[in-house]
Amino acid sequence: MSNTNEQIQQALETIRLSPFRDRFSPRIYQSLGLPINDEGLWMSALSKLMQSGVLIQNYELVDPETKEIRFVWHSTRDIPSSYGEEEYKNIFITYSFAETQKNVS
């Protein structure tokens, strides 16, 4: 296994065991101080895990003043087409582990 693949596996396990497992940004590894040498491979790994059902991708509308999450969607198709540029600036992509979401439901 290459060094980058090992880093990705270690990062995923660290995230899974952390308080952030319920909701994390694609760049969580930076906040946790985890080394990822190839961000492209990291993003590709997140995408593959999402496609295989391990991760769920969320689109969160965050209130710019309060930083509270106002809405969460799991598909871009669900985001209202009536939203303007200001709302789109406040939509952030996050991920969560699928088993965590099942436990919350």
Cα radius of gyration (the chain)? 15
Tens of pLDDT, residues 3-49:
888 889 999 999 999 998 899 999 999 999 988 889 999 999 999 99
Full-model pTM: 0.82
- Whole-number percent of the chain with pLDDT over 70: 92
